[in-house]
Amino acid sequence: AFINHFKEVQRLRTQLDQYTDLDPETREAIERALPEETLRAFRGVYLDLAQVLKARQGKSADPNDPVENLDFEFVLFDSALIDYDYIMKLIARFSEKGPKKQKMTREQLVGILRSNAKFLDEREEIIEYVNTLKEGEGLSEQEIREGYERFKAEKYARQITEIAEKHGVGREALQAFVDGILRRMIFDPDALTELMEPLGLGWKARVQKELALMEDLTPLLKKLAQGKEISGLEAYDHA
């Protein structure tokens, strides 16, 4: 119920925002009825819940499950004004030295990220990165960008290592397997078989091991693909 009701609230707010000739009194009345900060908080809750429910779609054995018929309309929560460059500038404002009056706070940054659908696939990384920064540290926008790229690379390397150790495969071999998929944007089942070969498993045990590995690896591959489709990976979507 929340998904459908709040989606309509956001639709109305989007329509109101398109009126450029509203007088100050009307704008103040709209702000009193639904303050921007409150709306942003609800957007964040909506997007968090929508992500959880969207992941459930296609997995229910009940054809009448209401989750299966939900349309989240993420486009309603995607502001054209807020893009990657804009967020990097806001982080730089958070980091800049000087009086706090005009600065961006950590809480404001996180609220903006959580309330915009554009960053659904990357917002947790950006928020984690923001949480490593010190307010007033004085980093430039270029330093912010470079630091974020390093942060993502280090996190990705840790995830590859953790998955390799968990499933008993070589870290370098797993890295090569992932690189091969991303280079061609095609999942190669033969390469997966080669990755498992050193474990010396029978076919049944190997299949189970492959499924377990891909259950952990598929979300990472999708994130690294940055919204592009990896052909053949859909076989593991509901593993």
Per-residue pLDDT tens digits for 115-138: 777 777 788 899 999 999 988 888
For the chain, percent of residues with pLDDT exceeding 90 = 40
Nearest-angstrom CA–CA distance, 1 and 46: 11
Query: How does pLDDT run across 183-221, given as a tens digit for each residue?
Result: 999 999 999 999 999 999 999 999 999 999 999 999 999
Gap between the Cα atoms of 119 and 78, Å rounded: 9
What distance in Å separates the CA atoms of residue 123 and residue 87, rounded to the nearest whole number? 10
What are the boundaries of each domain within the chain?
Answer: 1-77, 81-139, 149-236
Q: First-to-last CA distance in the chain? A: 29
